[in-house]
Structure 1
Amino acid sequence: MTDYPSLHLLIGGEKLAGAGRNTQDVLNPATGEAIGTLPLATPADLDTALDNAAMGFAAWRAAAPEKRASVLTGAAQLLRERAGTIAEIMTREQGKPLAEAKGETIYGAMLLEFYAGECKRIYGRTMPRPAGKRAEVRYEPVGPIAAFAPWNFPVINIARKVGGPIAAGCSVIVKPSEETPASALATVQCLLDAGLPPEVCQVVFGVPDEVSRHLMASPIIRKISFTGSTAVGKHLAALAAEDLKRTTMELGGHGPVLIFGDADIDRALDTMAPNAFRNAGQVCVSPTRFIVEEPVFDKFRDGFIERVKALKVGNGLEDGVQMGPMANSRGPDQIERMVSDAVEHGAHLDTGGERIGNQGYFYAPTVLSQVPDNAEIMNEEPFGPVAIINRYAGEEEMLAEANRLPYGLAAYAWSNDPVRQERLTQQIEAGMIAINAGGVSAVDMPFGGVKWSGHGHEDGHEGVMACMVAKSVHVG
C-alpha cells in the first residue's frame, strides 16, 4: 500500500511547508482518522504565487505550440505511469473505490492528451478586403487564471483547471480542495516533471474565502475558473464583476432522467442504477430525479431497488467495493436531513435511508419514490447516494418536471422513438444531454451547463478557447 505523502504548497516550483503556517488535518473518510497535515498559504505566499504567475504568463504565452503540446503529452504519460499510486492516494483521502480512482486518473491523462492536440488548433482567420488592406482575427491567451477545484474528482478537476490554460498559453494558480490535496499535487507534479516551467502553475491551499478574495483582488489575475456549488459560484461571480474579470462557472445540478414506456427498461436500469451511486452520488452530473412514465413506473422502480440493494458498500481499498464512503462528515449529515424531510412530506423510503457502521462517513444507497415537489430534495441537489423515482402521465408532464428547476447541467432520457429523441434534445434545458446512455462527458466535448448551473465550458475545443480573447487587427 502506498504511503500517504507529505503535503505542501507548490509555488515557483518550491515545496513549501511548516515555517509557522497554519495547518489543517486531512482525514480518511472511510475511518475519520487524520492521515496528513496540510500547510495553508499565508498572504505573503499568495503574493509570491501571484508574482510567479505574472512571470510565468510573460514567458509561456510566447512558448511555441509544440512546446506546450510536449509538456501536456509528457504529463499525460506520467499520469498513466503513476495511475496506480495516485489512485491509492485518492481513495485514501476521497473515499471512492480504487477502480474508480484509477479510471479517473486515466481520464485525466486523456484530457491532457486532447489539450496537447488543441495547442496546434488555435486558429484565427483572415477576412476578405480590397488589395493592399488586411483584416485578421487573432486569438491570444487571456492571462493569469485563478482556478478553484472541488474534492469530488481531485484529478479530473485539476486536469481541467490547468490543462486548458496551459494549452492556451496562460499561467494558472490553482486552489484544490483542502480535503483532497495529495491527488492534486501529484497531478501538477506530473506537469512539472514533464517540463512545465515552475512559474506557469502554482498550487495553494487555505481558507477558501480568504484565498479567493486575495487572488481576485489582484490585477494580475485576468480570469476566474470555479467548479462547485451555485451559491459559492454566485459569490465569486460578484467578486469577479468588481474588476470585470472573465469567469467560467461549472456549478450545481439536479439531473433529470426521463424514462419512457418505449425504452429498453432493463438496459436503462443496468446503466442508470449504478451510475446514480458512482462516487457515492457526489457527482455534479449525477442522475438524481428519475421521471418515469406511468405504464413502466412499477417495473422501473422495482428493478432499480433490486439493483441498488445489491451494491457492495465499504472501504474503497477493499476488493469488490462498488461504493465507498461520502468524502466528509458534512455529506451524511445533509443526506440524513434531506431524506428525513422527504419522508415527513410523504415520500416512500424504498431502501437505505441510514448511516452504515460506526466509523467513517458511510451512508446507505437510498431510493425514495413518490416524492412531492415541496420536499427539499426535489428542489436542491442532494449530492449524495440518493435517487428519487416519481411517476408522470406522459411526455408533456415529464418535460415540465425536467425543466422545472433553475439548474441545467446534465439530463438523461431513455426512449427508442427517434422523433421523440430529437424533440427531447431540443426541449430539455441542459448543457449536456445523454439519450439512451449514461455518460455526458468526453475529453473532446464541451462540459458545462445553463441557467444556475453556470456558464462557460471546460474540455473539448471550447475548454481552450475559454482561456483565449479575440483581437481584431485592421491594416490599411
Structure 2
Amino acid sequence: MKETKQERAAAAASLDAAAYPQALALYVGGQWRGAQGRDTLAVRNPANGAELGRLPVATDEDIDDALRHADSAFATWSRTSAWERAAILMRAAQLIDQRRGEMAVVLTLENGKPLADSDGELSRVIEGIIYCAEECKRAYGRQLPPRSPLLTQTTVKRPIGPVAAFVPWNFPAFLAARKVAAALAAGCTVVLKAPEETPAIGMLLLRAFLDAGVPSGAISLLYGKPAQISERLIASPIIRKVSFTGSVPVGRLLAMLAARHLKPCTMELGGHAPVIVCDDVDVARVAQACVAFKFRNSGQVCLSPSRFFVQDSLYEAFVAHFVEYAGQLEVGDGLAAGVRMGPLNNERRLAAAAGLVEDAQRRGANVRLGGTRLAGEGYFFPPTVLTDVPATARILHDEPFCPVAPILPFGTLDDAIARANAVEYGLAAYAFTNDLQRAATFAEGIDAAWIGINNFTPSLADAPVGGVKDSGLGYEGGPEGLDAYQQIRFVSQSNLRV
C-alpha cells in the first residue's frame, strides 16, 4: 500500500541528525572514495550551525579518474538502446520514491527547507526522471525529401559525449536529477560536481541511479574546490558539454572557459523576477499568493519573485495584506512541525540579506517587517518587507536570493514593464490582472523566458526553463532539455551500386 504524503512526513519527522550518513564520499569509477589522504570540509546544519559531517575534497587524481571513466563508459552507454536506458531511469525513479522519507530528512538537514518542501522537491525529482525516461524513446530524426529517387537522406540524433554538470545547493536533488537524467537519457555519461553544502543528498541520489542499473563509469560524483574542479573538467578534451545552474558571475566564468575549447554550454543563471499587480484584482488573494511563493525556500530560488510593482490605487492595501501574511509565516528548523520557512543555507547568504537591507535603509527605504537576523543559533533571517525603496538601492539591481521583498508603486502598465525590464536579468516574470489586453501586453513586453500570469509556476518536467539577457543560455526541461545533450547528424545514402 502506497504511503500518503502525510504518513511520509510523520515518519520522517521522527528522525533527526542520526539519519545523516556518517561517511561522506566522492564516487569515481565504481568506488566510494572517503577522506583518506584528502582534505575535508565541514558540512553544517543551517538550522543550528552544528557539524553534520566532514566531506572529502577531490584531488586532481580523482578528477582525472572521473574523466577517464566517463570516456570509457561513453563507448558502451551511448550504444545502449533508448528502451534499456528508459527502463533503468524508470527503476531509478521508483527507488527514489521508495527511499524518499530518508532522503527528505537528509535534504532538510543539509539545506534547511521545511520537510514538506523537501518531500515536494523529491516529487519533482521523480517526475523529471520519469519524463526523461519517456522522452528518450522519442529522440526522433527525420527523413528529407531527396533530390533524387536514388537517394535516402535523413537526420539522426546522437549523444554529444561526456558531460560536466554543475549544481547549486538551493535545489540540490531536483537540479542534479534534471541534469543527470536528461544526459543519461540522451546516451551521455556525466561527471557531476555537486554542492559542498548539501553532499549527502547527492550521494543518495547517485545510489538510486547506480542501484537501478546505470553503469558505474557512466556517472561520477565530485565535491571540493569549485575552481579546481571546473577548470580541470572543462579543459579536458573528454568533456563535450557543460551544464551549469548558478549565479551570473560564475556562469560567465564557466562559459568563458568552455568557449576556449569550443564546448557548448547550457547556463541557467540568476534571476530578479518582477511581479506586476494591476488594479483589477482581489488584492488580498494576490498578496497571499505572492507571500507563499516569495518565501518558498527562504527566497533562495532563481524563479522567486523579488521585485513587486503594485498599481497606485492598490498599493497601500497590498502592502498591508503582504505584511500581515508574511508575518504569520512560522520560521524555524525545517524538521519541526508547522514550520513554513527554514533558515538561509549558510553564513554568506545571511550576510548578503543583511547587507541588502542595510543598503536600502541607508538610501531611505522603510522596513515594514523583519529586517534583522533572528536571535539564536542557525542562519535565520525573517520575512522582510521594504517600501519607499529608491531606484539606486542594490536590492533592485542585484539578485537578492533571500527573504526580502521590496514593494514599489506604479502608475501605468507600460511604466511598470519598463521598470521591470531595467535589469540585466531575464529569467522569470509574473503579472496579476483580470484584463486580457493587459495580460497580452505584459506577456509581449516583458523580458523573461518563464512568464506566469495570474499564477506562480515552479519549473516543470515537460516545460523548458531558460533565460534571456544575462539569465542564461539554452534550456533545461522538456524535449529541449534532452536536445541539449544531443547532436544532429545528416546522412545521405545513395542506393546505386558502386
TM-score class normalised by the smaller sequence:
over 0.9
Identity of aligned residues (%): 44
Query: Distance between the aligned counterparts of 1:376 and 1:266, measured in 2?
Result: 28
Matched, 1:34 2:27: no
Query: Distance between the aligned counterparts of 2:205 and 2:258, measured in 1?
Result: 27
User: Equivalent residue for 2:94?
Assistant: 77
1:256·1:289 contact (CA, 8 Å) conserved in 2? yes
2:315 to 279, 288, 297: 297
Matched, 1:313 2:331: yes
User: Equivalent residue for 1:409?
Assistant: 427
1:146·1:223 contact (CA, 8 Å) conserved in 2? yes
CA distances 1:279-302 after superposition (whole Å, capped 9, x unpaired): 010001100100111111111111
2:288·2:321 contact (CA, 8 Å) conserved in 1? no
Query: Distance between the aligned counterparts of 1:126 and 1:266, measured in 2?
Result: 55
Matched, 1:202 2:212: no
1:9·1:203 contact (CA, 8 Å) conserved in 2? yes
User: Equivalent residue for 2:475?
Assistant: 457
1:120 to 117, 120, 137: 137
- Runs of 4 or more consecutive aligned structure 1 residues displaced over 4 Å after TM superposition: none
What TM-score do you get using the length of structure 1 for normalisation? 0.99
1:288·1:388 contact (CA, 8 Å) conserved in 2? yes
Q: Secondary structure at the match of 2:101?
A: helix
Matched, 1:420 2:438: yes
CA distances 1:351-384 after superposition (whole Å, capped 9, x unpaired): 0001112211001110011211101111001100
Q: Secondary structure at the match of 1:83?
A: helix
User: Equivalent residue for 1:68?
Assistant: 85
Q: Secondary structure at the match of 1:193?
A: helix
Matched, 1:144 2:201: no
One-letter amino acid of the counterpart of residue 96, structure 2:
L
Please tell me the root mean square deviation across aligned C-alpha atoms, in Å: 0.9
CA distances 1:177-236 after superposition (whole Å, capped 9, x unpaired): 000000111111111111111111100111000000111111000011001100000000
Matched, 1:355 2:373: yes
Could you tell me which runs of 5 or more consecutive residues in structure 1 were left unpaired when the two chains were aligned: none
Matched, 1:25 2:42: yes
Q: Secondary structure at the match of 2:123?
A: helix
2:27 to 10, 31, 42: 10
2:19·2:102 contact (CA, 8 Å) conserved in 1? no
Query: Distance between the aligned counterparts of 1:356 and 1:60, measured in 2?
Result: 50
Q: Secondary structure at the match of 1:183?
A: helix
Q: C-alpha displacement at 1:81, in angstroms?
A: 1.0
1:433·1:440 contact (CA, 8 Å) conserved in 2? no
Q: Secondary structure at the match of 1:290?
A: strand
1:68·1:167 contact (CA, 8 Å) conserved in 2? yes
1:149·1:157 contact (CA, 8 Å) conserved in 2? yes
Query: Distance between the aligned counterparts of 1:268 and 1:188, measured in 2?
Result: 40
User: Equivalent residue for 1:272?
Assistant: 290
User: Equivalent residue for 1:110?
Assistant: 127
What TM-score do you get using the length of structure 2 for normalisation? 0.94
CA distances 1:273-331 after superposition (whole Å, capped 9, x unpaired): 11100001000110010011111111111100000010000000000000011000111
Matched, 1:366 2:384: yes
2:35·2:55 contact (CA, 8 Å) conserved in 1? no
Query: Distance between the aligned counterparts of 1:448 and 1:267, measured in 2?
Result: 29
Query: Distance between the aligned counterparts of 1:432 and 1:359, measured in 2?
Result: 37
Could you tell me which runs of 5 or more consecutive residues in structure 2 were left unpaired when the two chains were aligned: 1-14
CA distances 1:87-122 after superposition (whole Å, capped 9, x unpaired): 100111110001000110111011000000011110
Q: Secondary structure at the match of 2:465?
A: coil
Query: Distance between the aligned counterparts of 2:381 and 2:89, measured in 1?
Result: 38
Q: C-alpha displacement at 1:440, in angstroms?
A: 4.1
User: Equivalent residue for 1:333?
Assistant: 351
1:95·1:325 contact (CA, 8 Å) conserved in 2? yes
1:245 to 249, 253, 263: 263
Q: C-alpha displacement at 1:138, in angstroms?
A: 1.2
Query: Distance between the aligned counterparts of 1:254 and 1:265, measured in 2?
Result: 22
One-letter amino acid of the counterpart of residue 429, structure 2:
A
2:61 to 19, 44, 49: 44
Query: Distance between the aligned counterparts of 1:152 and 1:449, measured in 2?
Result: 18
Query: Distance between the aligned counterparts of 1:163 and 1:430, measured in 2?
Result: 26
Q: Secondary structure at the match of 1:289?
A: strand
2:405 to 366, 371, 387: 387
Q: C-alpha displacement at 1:447, in angstroms?
A: 1.1
2:250 to 232, 236, 244: 232
User: Equivalent residue for 2:416?
Assistant: 398
One-letter amino acid of the counterpart of residue 127, structure 2:
M
2:24·2:200 contact (CA, 8 Å) conserved in 1? yes
Matched, 1:256 2:274: yes
More displaced stretch, 346-355 vs 416-425: 416-425
Count of residues in Structure 1 that have an aligned counterpart in Structure 2: 476
CA distances 1:249-296 after superposition (whole Å, capped 9, x unpaired): 010000100100112323212211111000010001100100111111
CA distances 1:424-458 after superposition (whole Å, capped 9, x unpaired): 11111111001100114211100111110011111
Q: Secondary structure at the match of 1:113?
A: helix
Query: Distance between the aligned counterparts of 2:491 and 2:419, measured in 1?
Result: 48
One-letter amino acid of the counterpart of residue 468, structure 2:
V
One-letter amino acid of the counterpart of residue 3, structure 1:
A
Q: Secondary structure at the match of 1:120?
A: helix
One-letter amino acid of the counterpart of residue 336, structure 2:
E
One-letter amino acid of the counterpart of residue 106, structure 1:
S
Q: C-alpha displacement at 1:13, in angstroms?
A: 2.2
